[in-house]
Structure 1
Amino acid sequence: MNADEALKILNAHASTLVVPYPHWIGGKNADQGPSYCLPCAEAKVEAGEAEYVDGGWQQDNDGCCHCDTCDRLLEYNLTDYGAAEELEHYLANPPSAPISPEDAFHVAKMLKHDESSPEAVAIAVAAAELIVLVKEAQP
């Protein structure tokens, strides 16, 4: 299996997820650093912790992106540093069956960042092969 085939399998497995773009809050005294899903960002405004909601588009991250309040997975692109961090994570903690759609999403993001990395390709291929094996074992 090559990187393109692995990416296709990973993306298909992750396609069961609904992954929204991140949002941020703004205004006087609002912490503009964390990312939120839209409902949690709007709740911050309603609670008086911010004046407005910003965002709704993909951004580059130094790691995977989750809502700071509810931990929902949010859309992201990895920076070079973020891809290196994800690679280090998966080298220390190789994917194991069953591969969740969220893990497939993260591995695909890592691979998309650098398809020339032999380590990233190996991790992605291993994860894709596990997805295929589990699907083949199901009746």
Structure 2
Amino acid sequence: MAEFDFELAAQVSRLAHGAKDSNLRWICTPEGEYETNNGSEWCDDCGYYMMRHLRSKERIKARRSGYLLDGGWRTESDTHRFCAHCGCWLRISLTDWGVKEELDHYRENGVGQNPIIDEAYSLDILLGAMWSGSEHADEAMALALDLVSRPDAQKILAEAA
């Protein structure tokens, strides 16, 4: 197993810098349930406006304050998460299972199926899950090298320097 290449990881991180992302938010209802039970998670902005919308639709005035915007921190996940409204990336840390799933995705599809910024964001999260050591670090580093070696990635990195 090779050493983790922090410089290569930093290049991927610089490429990912332009991606719109936010901490993951969910809404608690007056019944103590989570609005995310419907499969919806939001970015900071969309979550705030969804909470306001739900409060305004509540017929019983005393219950309106029962809708609370919760979350606001990076969470562990098996998969990438996206805002239910605007589609921006939600900040997660991949679990071990998530790392395996991401690597399976890249084995099947390779790097370059998505815009450079999105590929970089996805790889940045993947690399973040294994910087302290992983049996898959060599494979992830090869993916990162493939990404940063692309001409459009080199152009972005040169402009950012």
Q: TM-score range by the shorter chain?
A: 0.7 to 0.9
For the pair 1:38 / 2:44, whether they are aligned, the reply is yes
Where in structure 2 are there 5+ consecutive unaligned residues? Answer: 56-65
Identity %: 24
Q: If you compute each CA radius of gyration, which structure gives the higher value, 1 or 2?
A: 2
For the residue of structure 1 that corresponds to 2:112, the secondary structure is coil
Distance 1:26 1:3, change over 3 A: same
The TM-score with structure 2 as length reference comes to 0.72
CA distance in 2, matches of 1:68, 1:54: 15
Match of 1:122 in 2: 142
In the TM superposition, what is the alpha-carbon distance from 1:92 to its structure 2 partner?
1.0
**Structure 2 counterparts to residues 1-139 of structure 1, below 5 A:** 3-27=5-29, 28=31, 30-33=34-37, 34-48=40-54, 51-96=67-112, 100-115=116-131, 116=134, 117=136, 118-130=138-150, 134-135=154-155
In the TM superposition, what is the alpha-carbon distance from 1:131 to its structure 2 partner?
5.6
Which one-letter code corresponds to 1:32 in the other structure? T
Which one-letter code corresponds to 1:55 in the other structure? G
Where in structure 1 are there 5+ consecutive unaligned residues? Answer: none
Distance 1:99 1:68, change over 3 A: closer
Which one-letter code corresponds to 2:67 in the other structure? E
Distance 1:125 1:32, change over 3 A: same
Comparing 7-16 with 38-47, greater Cα deviation is found at 38-47
